[in-house]
């Protein structure tokens, strides 16, 4: 079993929670950040007792500098780092190129260091897009890049495809698998919020005055991290080549709002009860970047199944209502959402 693990992107939501769990298990963790001088003090505050079991390296997805040092002495890599903006970028290559090149860079340095286990944090974005005739998906599905998909969706699909092709050609003995989360919610550590958590924050602080006709599949950060840990620890034949979607079920935003009001009524007073007409979303889309993404999802169902992951790894995912409640309570406890 791996005792020293590189987790790329340790300041991110998934990366940070994975570092937290691995340190709690007694592992030694290396992590990469873009700016060590700025990020390491924050990481040391979060894990004050980690000492030499946490080593921080400055390494960029688009540059070789720092990667050899980061992988040195590691038994496995969890490649979590990937750009994920709130707004659609002006140029898709601002996302696609770093996602692909960063993944291939991490793989090359892992192979050069003799690392035999590599877990890529991919996404359901690489599974469930570009198929207008479908609304249910599983681990065997791939996003259709011949369709007009948004840049983030393309970036995750291209990165996972490129990784699998590279491993098959250059490192066939490496045990490679991917974890493919849907929208990730759950307790937060601080106010540096992921895109998914920012949506819940805006639902709960009144920033979203009405719920648009869109939905998402929900997963819990604790399940995402558990899947990563098991993918790092399980026998080779269990995880080699696998895709592990983490997902419970699809929920419309109005259903998410109802769940928040039902599970935490004393905290959900600002959660909108009205629905936003589609014409309002379409009217705002040219002027509000976030609405441009909402417009593309109006009425779409993308229900990604996590059953394969539960069956292969042998555990049950947390129910989405519990996840949403825990997200809200954490945001209030941290002072991020004011009641």
> Which pLDDT tens digits describe the chain residue by residue (339 residues)?
679 999 999 999 999 999 999 999 999 999 999 999 999 999 999 999 999 999 999 999 999 999 999 999 999 999 998 765 545 556 677 778 889 999 999 999 999 999 999 999 999 999 999 999 999 999 999 999 999 888 889 999 999 999 999 999 999 999 999 999 999 999 999 888 888 899 899 999 998 888 999 999 999 999 999 999 999 999 999 999 999 999 999 999 999 999 999 999 999 999 999 998 888 888 888 877 777 778 878 888 999 999 999 999 999 999 999 999 999 999 999 999 998
Q: What is the pLDDT of residue 83?
A: 61
Look up the domain containing 48 and give its range. 4-186+218-247+302-317
Number of domains in the chain: 1
Class of residue 324 by CB neighbours under 10 A (exposed 0-12, middle 13-18, buried 19+): buried
Residue 40 belongs to a domain: yes
Asked if residues 42 and 66 have their Cβ atoms less than 8 Å apart, the reply is no
Task: Specify the pLDDT at position 84.
Answer: 54
Report the pLDDT value the prediction gives residue 1, as an integer from 0 to 100.
66
Query: How much is the pLDDT for 86?
Result: 47
Active site includes 307?
no
Residue 129 counted as domain residue: yes
The answer, as to whether pTM is greater than 0.85, is: yes
Asked whether residue 97 is domain-assigned, the answer is yes
Tell me if 330 is assigned to some domain: no
How far is the C-alpha of 119 from the C-alpha of 2, rounded, in Å?
A: 12
Buried/exposed 29-54: b ≥16 CB within 10 Å, e otherwise? bbbbbeeeeebbeebeebbeebeeeb
Query: How far apart, in whole angstroms, are the C-alpha atoms of residue 122 and residue 155?
Result: 10
Q: Which residues of 90-102 are buried (b: 16+ CB within 10 A; e: fewer)?
A: eebeebbbbbbeb
**Beta-carbon count within 10 A of 26 CB:** 8
In a domain, 210, yes or no: no
Sign of the torsion angle spanned by Cα atoms 145, 178, 105, 56: positive
Is the residue at 101 inside a domain? yes
Contact, 11 vs 33, CB < 8 A?
A: yes
Distance CA 226, CA 214 (A): 28
Q: Can you give the pLDDT at residue 91?
A: 63
User: Which of 111, 156, 226, 295 is an active site residue?
Assistant: 156
Q: Does residue 292 form part of some domain?
A: no
Residue 3, SS3? coil
Q: Pull the structure tokens for residue 140.
A: 């065997």
Q: Per the domain annotation, does 265 fall within a domain?
A: no
Domain with residue 89: its CATH number is 3.40.50.720
């Amino acid at each position: 079993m791996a005792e020293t693990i590189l987790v790329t992107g340790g300041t991110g939501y998934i990366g940070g929670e994975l570092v937290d769990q691995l340190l709690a298990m007694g592992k030694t963790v290396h992590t990469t950040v873009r700016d060590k001088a700025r990020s390491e003090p924050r990481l040391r505050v979060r894990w004050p007792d980690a000492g030499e079991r946490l080593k921080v390296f400055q390494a960029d997805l688009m540059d070789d500098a720092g990667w050899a040092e980061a992988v040195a002495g590691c038994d496995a890599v969890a490649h979590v780092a990937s750009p994920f903006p709130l707004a659609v970028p002006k140029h898709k290559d601002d996302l696609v190129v770093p996602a692909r090149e960063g993944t291939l860079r991490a793989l090359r340095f892992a192979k050069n260091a003799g690392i035999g286990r590599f877990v890529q944090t991919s996404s359901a974005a690489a599974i469930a897009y570009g198929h207008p005739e479908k609304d249910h998906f599983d681990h065997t599905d791939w996003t259709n890049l011949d369709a007009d998909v948004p840049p983030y969706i393309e970036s995750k699909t291209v990165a996972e495809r490129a990784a699998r092709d590279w491993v098959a050609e250059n490192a066939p003995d490496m045990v490679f698998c991917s974890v493919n989360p849907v929208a990730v919610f759950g307790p937060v550590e601080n106010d540096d919020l992921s895109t998914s958590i920012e949506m819940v924050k805006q639902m709960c602080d009144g920033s979203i005055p009405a719920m648009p006709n869109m939905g998402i599949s929900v997963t819990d950060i604790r399940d995402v991290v558990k899947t990563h840990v098991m993918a790092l620890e399980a026998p080779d034949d269990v995880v080699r080549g696998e895709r592990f979607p983490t997902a419970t079920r699809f929920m419309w935003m109005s259903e998410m709002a109802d769940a928040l009001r039902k599970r935490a009524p004393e905290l959900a007073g600002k959660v909108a009860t009205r629905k936003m007409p589609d014409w309002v979303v379409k009217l705002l889309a040219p002027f509000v970047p976030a609405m441009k993404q909402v417009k593309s999802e109006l009425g779409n169902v993308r229900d990604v199944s996590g059953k394969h992951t539960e069956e292969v790894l042998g555990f049950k995912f947390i129910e989405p209502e519990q996840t949403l409640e825990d997200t809200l309570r954490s945001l209030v406890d941290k002072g991020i959402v004011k009641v």
